Amino acid sequence: MTIAPEGRRMLRIEARNAETPIERKPPWIKVKAKMGPEYTQMRGLVQKEGLHTVCQEAGCPNIYECWEDREATFLIGGDQCTRRCDFCQIDTGKPAEFDADEPRRVGESVATMGLRYATVTGVARDDLPDGGAWLYAETVRQIHKLQPGCGVELLIPDFNADPTQLAEVFGAAPEVLAHNVETVPRIFKRIRPGFRYERSLDVITQARAAGLVTKSNLILGMGEERAEISQALRDLHGAGCELITITQYLRPTPRHHPVERWVKPEEFVELREEAEQIGFAGVMSGPLVRSSYRAGRLYRQALDARG
């Protein structure tokens, strides 16, 4: 029996993944730290107040740019997810008890940091009767209450595409409703066994029908083919998706899915141009792009496109 670092028995797929050593990154996968005045002030504030952001804890390569723009990302619902995706660093297990005060604390953190735009994401909470819908919705309400004028982007699980649960989330009126498809249909079940490709598209369609700005993400380098990426972009746009980010998969640990290929910067440029031609209102495409990268700017592009 193989044991994972946190002490649990390793899944068969994790043991199989671990047989492939961590890949060496190509030269274009590197970040130059640019510590501007807004970033420096934010870092000092976060340290002083003991605040927690995904930006820091996940070691996001874009923290310098996002904090300079007064944007940050928060994780809600705990650190244990009820589902497992083969690319995701968050552990799968029994989640912590429901914390009804978490939305207020996140709102206070956003206000303390003086953010202009906040992205809120979280784990899947299939253990809760509403799948965590209230938690997501209340976090939006608290941010809008405690930091008026701050845009909120919700990056949600699929809530099994349940119209009642989604209506709870949509009713909080986030500026952007994001749900990430992440990969193409052929390998979707292997990479995201707890999700369904068509169901994810349905979530986006329901969000657009509710009048929300919609967004998704595709991760490259997990075994997809070039033509499949193009089809996924068309599927997303056809489902009502307005904003898209396209990223390079970076393997978190040996237990996760091996990197199948390193996508060259030129291909990301080609994909950005293709997505724009398909009709997306805003596109971010690059090796170090993440789904919340320059989120406020993409939101403004969606507003401009809507007129």
Sequence-distant (≥ 6) Cβ neighbours of residue 74 within 8 angstroms = 52, 53, 54, 106, 109, 110, 118, 119, 120, 121, 139
User: Is 241 one of the annotated binding-site residues?
Assistant: no
Q: CB count, 10 Å around CB of 227?
A: 9
As given in the structure block, the two tokens for residue 190 are: 């292997």
Query: Nearest CA to 300 among 174, 213, 238, 208?
Result: 213
Length of the chain: 307
For the chain (length 307 residues), average pLDDT per consecutive 10?
A: 62 85 88 82 81 75 86 87 82 85 94 94 91 97 98 96 98 98 95 93 98 98 97 99 97 89 97 99 96 94 94
In this prediction, residue 5 carries a pLDDT of: 61
| Cross-strand pairs, 16 | none
User: Is 85 one of the annotated binding-site residues?
Assistant: yes
User: Is 200 one of the annotated binding-site residues?
Assistant: no
Contact indicator for 151, 184 with CB cutoff of 8 Å:
no
Q: CB count, 10 Å around CB of 229?
A: 20
In this prediction, residue 62 carries a pLDDT of: 85
Three-state DSSP string of 188-222: HHHHCCCCCHHHHHHHHHHHHHCCCEEEEEEEECC
As given in the structure block, the two tokens for residue 75 are: 């994780």
User: Is 81 one of the annotated binding-site residues?
Assistant: yes
Query: Nearest CA to 298 among 242, 217, 230, 240?
Result: 242
User: Is 150 one of the annotated binding-site residues?
Assistant: no
2, 32, 295 from 252: Cα distances, Å: 18, 20, 23
Contact indicator for 194, 84 with CB cutoff of 8 Å:
yes
Question: Domains in the chain, start-ordered, CATH in brackets?
Answer: 35-306 (3.20.20.70)
- In sequence order, what DSSP letters do the residues of 145-198 get, joined into one string? HHSTT-EEEEE---GGG-HHHHHHHHTT--SEEE---BS-HHHHHHH-TTS-HH
In this prediction, residue 69 carries a pLDDT of: 87
